[in-house]
RNA sequence: GCGAUCGUAGCUCAGUUGGUUAGAGCGCCGGCUUGUGGUGCCGGAGGUCGUGGGUUCGAGACCCAUCGGUCGCCCCA
């Protein structure tokens, strides 16, 4: 029987990486509540039109990266390549207009048919935050400040910079785009093959080409600032002054454009040079035109998405808190004692692991590897002078264990309730790194 | 879709200019040792050397194809 392989570009995440992944999500959940964003869940697949119409037919995402298939009714469905389009559809379908302006947060898997590489997968995961039905720059500011706080709380903000730009309103953007096409047409033959292609499909993209043949023309290319009308300028000014007031650092990136057609005004990316070719860790912008393309009324909105895998890589290995208590069963006849104690300890809210298989030697090896705060040993050695003990309950705590609550619980409550002892029996000594306390129950 | 690079035990890797029964460390299992015990010693399980062809008296090592991983281009989080 041959084991089927996992699909290319999917990942099985485990251990420290999985902990880092969970840590990113948990931090996002916590921060999103601080900003009072409401949680939403959407399907992972939609009718293909949801994405093809909103993202722009000519974008690479739509033209070659979507996971599309026909269902049994011959309807074309697509695994979501991004969140925004699906959220916009849900907003219209469910009448969420009544909640506008609506602050939404979600996270989960997305799918794109691409060659995998560092920080890029066919099934990848994003955090997502959107404000729908808010035309004011204030919404952009709130979203950016939240993103900034998220990165800071994750401890990854060092070396990550906020690149900020404006694409102006629809009219500004079109005028700029036309000027760029004009300009680059003049140099057409000198451009890279990729950029000659971009000239027809997505001229804004030429601006962040990595090809040296293109870079020489960038300095003299038309600037968006020259095409912004007064309104667009004022909008951008309010965004930047809001960020300054909130203490969020940013860098103007006049050639920053976003890949999808629906962006207007604010566009931004938090980038780092620590992730190889995939420098963008969080990106987004304003998409005032999107909801109309799905048949809704004109609805201004802003949002961003962040790659969980990329954030997790910046976070690095993340280890869960150490096990608080490990119970080592040394005498198999007393197995019920471990069941009793473990249940009690866990119900009390302390993490606990039981080691009760393998040779006694292996059990201690295992417990040492778990590196617990406290080790509890269940033993039936009859080694007292009068020989009337039938169970012994010892625990050893790391000398540095700064958990008086846990120590108190174990010494006083458990020991008294279960063993009906009077307390320490005087057997108390230091062994290496551990303080060892020993209790014995008498009958 | 394009390019580079890699693919030997569960994991990390050695395997000399192609030459007898393919190795180590870690991990796992067992035994002994260690009188509070992540030590030491002994033993064990586990590999069709990604797969399929080819060259050769002989290939894990050379060639071709294919699959997969990694990194990059395109694009994007």
pLDDT in tens, A235-291: 999 999 999 999 999 999 988 887 666 788 999 999 998 887 778 999 999 988 889
Closest-CA residue to A354 (of A378, A322, A381, A333): A378
The integer distance in angstroms from the CA atom of A365 to the C1' atom of B15 is 34
The integer distance in angstroms from the CA atom of A4 to the C1' atom of B50 is 14
Asked whether strand B has any atom less than 7 Å from the CB of A278, the reply is: yes
Closest-CA residue to A21 (of A319, A320, A321, A308): A308
Q: Are A101 and A55 in contact (CB under 8 A)?
A: no
- Residue A203 is classified by DSSP as G
Query: How long is chain A?
Result: 443
Bridge partner list, A375? A326, A396
Asked whether strand B has any atom less than 7 Å from the CB of A5, the reply is: yes
Asked whether strand B has any atom less than 7 Å from the CB of A115, the reply is: yes
Interface confidence (ipTM) of the complex: 0.82
Closest-CA residue to A39 (of A49, A47, A31): A31
Can you tell me the distance from the alpha carbon of A304 to that of A388, in angstroms, rounded to the nearest whole number? 69
Q: Which two tokens stand for residue A393?
A: 């309950």
pLDDT in the model for residue A245:
97
Asked whether strand B has any atom less than 7 Å from the CB of A203, the reply is: no
Q: List pLDDT tens digits, range A380-437.
A: 654 443 433 444 555 665 555 667 788 777 766 655 554 544 443 434 333 444 444 4
Q: Which two tokens stand for residue A23?
A: 């840590």
The integer distance in angstroms from the CA atom of A382 to the C1' atom of B26 is 38
- Residue A104 pLDDT > 90, yes or no? yes
Can you tell me the distance from the alpha carbon of A389 to that of A367, in angstroms, rounded to the nearest whole number? 25
Q: Which nucleotide lies nearest residue A279, CA to C1'?
A: B77
The integer distance in angstroms from the CA atom of A120 to the C1' atom of B6 is 19
Q: List pLDDT tens digits, range A66-94.
A: 999 899 999 999 999 999 999 999 999 99
Between residue 128 and residue 167 of chain A, the positions with Cβ below 7 Å from nucleic chain B are: none
Asked whether strand B has any atom less than 7 Å from the CB of A121, the reply is: yes
**At how many degrees (to 10) do helices A84-93 and A48-55 cross?**
110
Sign of CA dihedral A224, A228, A231, A233: positive
Q: Are A351 and A325 in contact (CB under 8 A)?
A: yes
The integer distance in angstroms from the CA atom of A306 to the C1' atom of B63 is 46
* Helix locations, A155-208, DSSP H: 170-186, 193-201
The integer distance in angstroms from the CA atom of A254 to the C1' atom of B74 is 22
Higher pLDDT among residues A403 and A103, named by residue: A103
Q: How confident is the model at residue A102 (pLDDT cuts 50, 70, 90)?
A: very high
Q: Which nucleotide lies nearest residue A396, CA to C1'?
A: B36
The integer distance in angstroms from the CA atom of A184 to the C1' atom of B55 is 54
- Report all structural domains of chain A as residue ranges with CATH numbers, in order of start: 16-169+229-315 (3.30.930.10), 325-442 (3.40.50)
Q: List pLDDT tens digits, range A198-233.
A: 887 778 888 878 777 877 888 888 888 988 888 899
Q: Which nucleotide lies nearest residue A305, CA to C1'?
A: B77
Q: In what order do the strands lie in the sheet with A389-398?
A: A352-355, A325-329, A374-379, A389-398, A434-442, A428-431
Q: Are A264 and A286 in contact (CB under 8 A)?
A: yes
């Amino acid at each position: 029987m041959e084991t089927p392989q996992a699909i290319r570009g999917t990942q099985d995440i485990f251990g420290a990486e999985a902990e880092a992944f969970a840590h990113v999500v948990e931090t996002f959940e916590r921060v999103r509540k601080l900003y009072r964003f409401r949680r939403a869940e959407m399907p992972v697949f939609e009718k293909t039109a949801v994405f093809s119409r909103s993202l722009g037919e000519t974008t690479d995402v739509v033209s070659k990266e979507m996971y599309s298939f026909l269902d049994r009714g011959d309807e074309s469905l697509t695994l979501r390549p991004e969140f925004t389009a699906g959220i916009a559809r849900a907003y219209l379908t469910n009448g969420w207009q009544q909640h506008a302006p609506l602050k939404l947060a979600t996270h989960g898997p997305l799918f794109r048919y691409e060659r995998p590489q560092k920080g890029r997968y066919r099934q990848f995961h994003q955090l997502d935050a959107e404000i729908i039905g808010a035309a004011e720059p204030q919404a952009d500011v709130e979203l950016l400040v939240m993103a900034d706080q998220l990165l800071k709380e994750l401890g990854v903000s060092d070396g990550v910079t906020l690149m900020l730009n404006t694409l102006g309103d629809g009219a500004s953007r079109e005028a700029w785009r036309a000027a760029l096409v004009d300009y680059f047409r003049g140099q057409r033959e000198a451009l890279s093959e990729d950029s000659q292609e971009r000239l027809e499909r997505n001229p804004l993209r030429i601006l962040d080409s990595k090809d040296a043949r293109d870079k020489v023309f960038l300095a003299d290319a038309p600037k968006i600032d020259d095409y912004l009308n007064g309104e667009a300028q004022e909008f951008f000014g309010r965004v930047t002054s809001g960020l300054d007031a909130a203490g969020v650092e940013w860098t103007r990136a006049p050639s920053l454009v976003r890949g999808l057609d629906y962006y207007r005004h604010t566009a931004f990316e938090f980038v780092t040079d620590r992730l190889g070719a995939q420098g963008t860790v969080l990106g987004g912008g304003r998409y005032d035109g999107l909801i109309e393309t799905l048949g809704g009324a004109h609805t201004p909105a802003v949002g961003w998405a962040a790659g969980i895998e990329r954030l997790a890589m910046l976070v690095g290995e993340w280890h869960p808190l150490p096990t608080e208590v490990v119970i080592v069963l040394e005498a198999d006849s007393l197995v019920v004692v471990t069941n009793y104690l473990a249940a009690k300890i866990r119900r009390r809210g302390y993490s606990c692991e039981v080691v009760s298989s393998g040779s006694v030697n292996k059990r201690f090896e295992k417990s040492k590897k778990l590196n617990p705060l406290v080790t509890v040993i269940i033993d039936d050695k009859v080694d007292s002078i009068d020989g009337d003990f039938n169970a012994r309950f010892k625990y050893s705590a790391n000398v540095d264990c700064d958990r008086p609550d846990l120590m108190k619980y174990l010494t006083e409550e458990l020991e008294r309730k279960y063993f009906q002892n009077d307390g320490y029996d005087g057997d108390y000594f230091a062994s290496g790194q551990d303080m060892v306390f020993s209790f014995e129950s008498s009958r």
